[in-house]
Chains A and B, each alone.
Chain A
Amino acid sequence: MKKIILLLLVLLSGSLVACSSSDDWDSSKNITLYTRDTSSGTRAGFMEGIGFSEAAEDNSLLAEGYVIKDNTGILTSMKTDEYGIGYVSLASLNDEIKGLQFDGVDPTVANVVNNTYGLKRPFNYVIRSLDDFANDTEKEITLAFIAFLHTSDGADIITNEGAIPLTSTSTWDEIKDDYEVCSLDNSGVTIKFGGSDSIEKIALALTEAFAPKCGNFTPEHDHTGSSDGFKRTQGSEKDGVNYKHVGFASRPFKDSELGSDGTQGQLAWDAIVAIVHLNNEVTNVTAEDLKKIYSGEYTTWDQLIG
């Protein structure tokens, strides 16, 4: 028995030694791509951010040999694969892997909030024109909800869902007296939310927390895509059956989507960061680099470093 155990120990230590060999990073090696699957919101945000949005839901446009993993899978793979590149949401970045600068800017929350880090998309909201609500109660609740988005209570919820809220100055308790409608019983009132499906999770979490604070109104969610955010609040479908009180868009509003004063704004940033192994010598990428990597134009790290 002792001999067997000894033998096993020798084998085990031998294999461990073999594993921990650390060679120099070799830029002539091929790039291994890691990506989320086509139903992922992070993937949509990333591909839009690097100007390759046609690949958001189409794997055949990606370079050969990519690996599909979830958020955690990409993170753990980057600890092993010295020649891999992947992307995760900024919230899950840690120091066991290397987050790449984007256009020379470090991927930090501070840089996202001060709008210097570029690989991100805004989460915007739009509400109906102030004179276009069916009654004052609906209007007051909608305005209270928008105010709630900018409180620290709202910011906590947004952070929990993995996005980065804008700076908030007050808590809901401090400002709730400005919104008398929330002290009434609103259980018969339905407020309709729609627009971007990337924001659906955040919107659900926000209304779930806010409804009890504002007379238990009934939030109704129907998220169908960013373009419906404006269309169904102030655009062509604002009086249709699918009208909404609040719409969301996970991109900047287009020129054709500019609403009346004080009805549009931003609630958060969704920042994504390209990550590589700690040994990787690359520190900075541009949108163009990433597009060339993911479309297969660059196949080795040499081509990227140039």
Chain B
Amino acid sequence: MNKTKKWIQEIKNKLHFNSKKEIVDFLVRLIFMISTIVSGSFIIIIIIFIAREGIKPFVTDNDGLGAVNLFRFLTGRVWLTGTTFQSTLYSVGFIIINTIYVAILSLLISMPIGVLTALFIAKIAPTKLSSIMRTVIELLAAIPSIVYGLFGAGVILPFVYNFAKTLGIQSPGGNSVLATVIVLSLMILPTITALSEVAIRSVGKDIEHGSLALGATKTQTHFKVILTSAKSGIFSAAILGIGRALGEATAVSLVAGNAQNGPSFGIFQTTSTLTSTMLQGLKETIGLDYDIRFSVGIVLMIVILITNTLLNYVKRKVGNVNVK
């Protein structure tokens, strides 16, 4: 009891305001705190909700079907063996590999293009062109993913189909790893470009001038001095880019072909990602087939967490050079 009284007394002391200004200050701080609590608690509520639904298939007997085997779930190579609504033999092992595979391929394509574009906009292009390009990139970043998906289904799929045909390969309508990677690269390109551009622009003029004064050419300076100095920021761009690639659902499900077994490494094979698997039939299904999608969601969150931690670790290892 004493403690509580003391505590209340402390708060009273703290709430003792000397002037109107202090009251306003206190209220403003209170509003900040409340908004932080609200946004923070949403994350917690979402995690609790997903976890509660997603753990259910493993711990309950799923209305008589029996519990899903966690080891098999994480390592298997077929999404569902047996009849839907009657089988518990779900696996996402190959889908985890597919997801990481397409995300890394997309990053490999869009990183060089994005960074070089950023270098061009920030350092090489005339002021007018660079401001136009900057707007274009921002616009691209704001396009919703379903639009990329429709573009993918309408343009990329026929393109990949015909490309495979000229190589003498029969592609299933273009639905493939390649189409998925192209769509994802297009989607994460603006993110990577915009963030890299900010990082490159924030490299100090004195470093650049120093390099030029030592007799290095402009190109040498750009690649050896500016890009190395901005690498920390460029890594942040890669982290955000790969996060978007891993989490993209709508666009991917329109071009991936939703393979039910795998993993798919050939670029003309159909594939599936964690998100496209979650989305597939989500609106029509029930019971375990519905709950298991939350489990896939947990797996996805863990995959994103691990990837980001790894990249952050690399980013810290790579270090930082005098970036303002």
Contact = CB atoms under 8 A, between A and B. Distances in A.
Contacts of A40: 281, 284
A38 B85 CA distance: 10
Nearest to B260: A59
Nearest to A41: B284
Interface stretch (B159-167, B192-200, B203-211): B159-167
Nearest to A32: B172
B174 A30 contact: no
B153 A58 contact: no
A81 interface: yes
Interface in A8-41: 15, 18-19, 21, 23, 29-30, 32, 34, 37-41
Contact of B172 (A1, A19, A57, A84): A84
A64 to B, nearest CB: 9
Given A19-B162, A37-B280, A77 B173 contact: yes
Nearest to B155: A19
B153 to A, nearest CB: 6
Contacts of B165: 23
Contacts of A15: 159
Contact of B254 (A32, A73, A81): A73
Question: Majority SS of interface residues in chain A?
Answer: mixed
Given A67-B258, A73-B153, A81 B161 contact: yes
B186 to A, nearest CB: 15
B180 to A, nearest CB: 13
Interface string B126-166: 00010000000000000000000000011001110110011
B256 to A, nearest CB: 9
A81 B153 CA distance: 12
Nearest to A30: B170
A37 B83 contact: no
A135 interface: no
A37 to B, nearest CB: 4
A92 to B, nearest CB: 16
Contacts of B289: 38-39
B257 A68 contact: yes
B175 interface: yes
A81 B83 CA distance: 29
A37 B170 contact: no
A69 B78 CA distance: 18
A91 B82 CA distance: 31
A68 to B, nearest CB: 4
B258 A69 contact: yes
Given A38-B281, A59-B260, 5 more contacts: A19-B159, A21-B166, A69-B258, A80-B161, A83-B170
Interface of B: 78-86, 129, 153-154, 157-159, 161-162, 165-166, 170-175, 254, 257-258, 260, 270, 280-281, 284-285, 289
17 contacts: A15-B159, A18-B162, A19-B158, A37-B258, A38-B281, A39-B84, A40-B284, A60-B80, A60-B81, A65-B172, A67-B175, A68-B280, A69-B175, A76-B153, A77-B175, A79-B158, A80-B161
